[in-house]
Structure formats: C-alpha cells, structure tokens
Amino acid sequence: MAVTHSTGNDYLLPCGRGLEQAWERLDDGDADPHESSCTHCAAARESLLTLRAATRELIEEPDPPPPDLFGRIMSAVRADVRRGRTLTLDTPHPGAILVSEQAVAVVLRFAADTVDGVRARGCRVQSTDIDEDGAQVIAVSMTLAIRHGGPSIDEVVSVVRARVRAAASARIGVELGALDITVLDIYEEDR
C-alpha cells in the first residue's frame, strides 16, 4: 500500500515524529531507538496495524447479499421497467398528461386483485381509441387465477369486470371499451 508523501502537512505525533513515517516503517521488524522507547510511536504503530488488518478483512470478505435481494429483483421483474406506449389523459387543469399503458395496466390489475378469491396474473392494454365525444377508450386483456371452492367463475368474473371498469373511469379517467378476461388457473388457499 503506497502512501503519498506530502510536504509539511503530515500529522505529527506528540513526540514530533510524523504519522507517515510510522506508516512507512510499519513492516520493518527492527524499530529505531526512538520508536523502541516512545509510547506515542508504539500507540500509532498499534493503531496502524489494527487499521491495516481491518482493511484487509473488508477486502477479503465479500459483502453478503441483502436478505431481501430476491424479493427486490422479482419486484423489478414484475414491474417490467420498460415504459412502453403512453396514453394522453385530459385533466381539469390546463394541458394533458401522458401516462404509460403499463401504469394503466397496474391500476386495473390492482382493481381485479381486490376481488375476494381472485389473483390477477396479467393485464395488458391492447388498444386505445378516441370515441365520438373525444373520450379515451381502451381495450384490455386480463388473466386471472381464481380460488377453488369460492363463488362460480361467472360470478367472480362479473365482479372483476365491474371493479376494473370503475377503476378505469374513476382512477385513470378513461373509458373501458373491451375487457377480455381469461381464467388461467384455479388455486387453493394455503392452510
């Protein structure tokens, strides 16, 4: 480990010796007469040896991965960081805002997840259009898993359809034109 020498800016020990001098002589087995009898030099030497040992330990021992690393990676994968296409939404304030279709899909998927016995597997905005009144209309496809032993698929899909339609209107400000729902799986509750 190299130490850059500075002129006049060395940290001086109470005995008048520079800390850099103690650092340079750290690996020398033989101490000069001053170092042998000076408590300040001995304390500095001991501190520098401890510092070097701790630094080596940090270098040699890699950091363990954080305990929630897997969960964070999976969250990023699920979020699918690509922004993708955007929708233009009118606002009561001057101007319009752009929102990604992915963000719209997340809101609609969450609405489906609020239905008891439903796990939204996927949601995708298939197309966007403007109706004759100038309102944004979207077509969405959604896949679900439904809990075994709950209400019938028809009942569950009907409730999901109503919640997703309400979320599209109230939370996003778009009209839901078509909503294609596919039940992909049936799951059992963990006991």
DSSP state of 191: -
Residue 38 has pLDDT above 60, yes or no: yes
Q: Residue 105: inside a domain, yes or no?
A: yes
Q: pLDDT grade, residue 4 (50/70/90)?
A: very low
Residues 161/179, Cβ–Cβ less than 8 Å = yes
Query: How far is C-alpha 139 from the geometric centre of its chain's CA atoms?
Result: 30
Domain count, the chain: 2
Indicate if 43 and 93 belong to the same structural domain. no
Indicate if 91 and 172 belong to the same structural domain. yes
- For residue 42, the enclosing domain spans 19-60
Q: How confident is the model over 116-135, as pLDDT tens digits? A: 999 999 999 998 888 888 77
Choice between 168 and 88, residue whose per-residue pLDDT is larger: 168
Residue 79's pLDDT is: 56
Q: How confident is the model over 13-35, as pLDDT tens digits? A: 888 888 788 778 777 767 788 88
Indicate if 103 and 176 belong to the same structural domain. yes
- Quote the pTM value: 0.55
Highest-confidence segment of 1-5, 56-60, 90-94, 180-184: 180-184
Across the beta sheet with 175-187, the strand order is 118-130, 136-147, 175-187
Q: Residue 77: inside a domain, yes or no?
A: no
Residues 161/120, Cβ–Cβ less than 8 Å = no
Q: Residue 7: inside a domain, yes or no?
A: no
Residues in the chain: 191
Indicate if 51 and 124 belong to the same structural domain. no
Indicate if 55 and 87 belong to the same structural domain. no
Q: pLDDT grade, residue 5 (50/70/90)?
A: very low
Indicate if 88 and 56 belong to the same structural domain. no
Question: Which helix (H) or strand (E) covers residue 118, if one does?
Answer: strand 118-130
Indicate if 123 and 51 belong to the same structural domain. no
Q: Residue 2: inside a domain, yes or no?
A: no
**Nearest to residue 98, comparing CAs of 109, 85, 110, 108?**
85
**Secondary structure string (H, E, C) spanning 47-75:** HHHHHHHHHHHHHHCCCCCCCCHHHHHHH
Q: Average per-residue pLDDT in the chain?
A: 81
Q: Residue 6: inside a domain, yes or no?
A: no
Indicate if 29 and 121 belong to the same structural domain. no
Indicate if 91 and 149 belong to the same structural domain. yes
Q: pLDDT grade, residue 156 (50/70/90)?
A: very high
Residue 24: CA atoms inside 13 Å, Cβ hemisphere, count?
A: 10
Indicate if 142 and 55 belong to the same structural domain. no
Residue 84's pLDDT is: 66
Give the separation between CA 122 and CA 142, rounded to whole angstroms.
Answer: 6
Q: Residue 55: inside a domain, yes or no?
A: yes
Q: Residue 11: inside a domain, yes or no?
A: no
Q: Residue 75: inside a domain, yes or no?
A: no
| CATH number of the domain encompassing residue 156 | 3.30.70.1350
Indicate if 34 and 115 belong to the same structural domain. no
Extract long-range pairs of 44-48: CB within 8 Å, 24+ residues apart.
44/13, 44/19, 48/19, 48/22, 48/23
How would you class 108 by CB atoms within 10 Å of its CB: exposed for 0-12, middle for 13-18, buried for 19 or more?
buried
Indicate if 91 and 176 belong to the same structural domain. yes
Give the separation between CA 90 and CA 120, rounded to whole angstroms.
Answer: 28
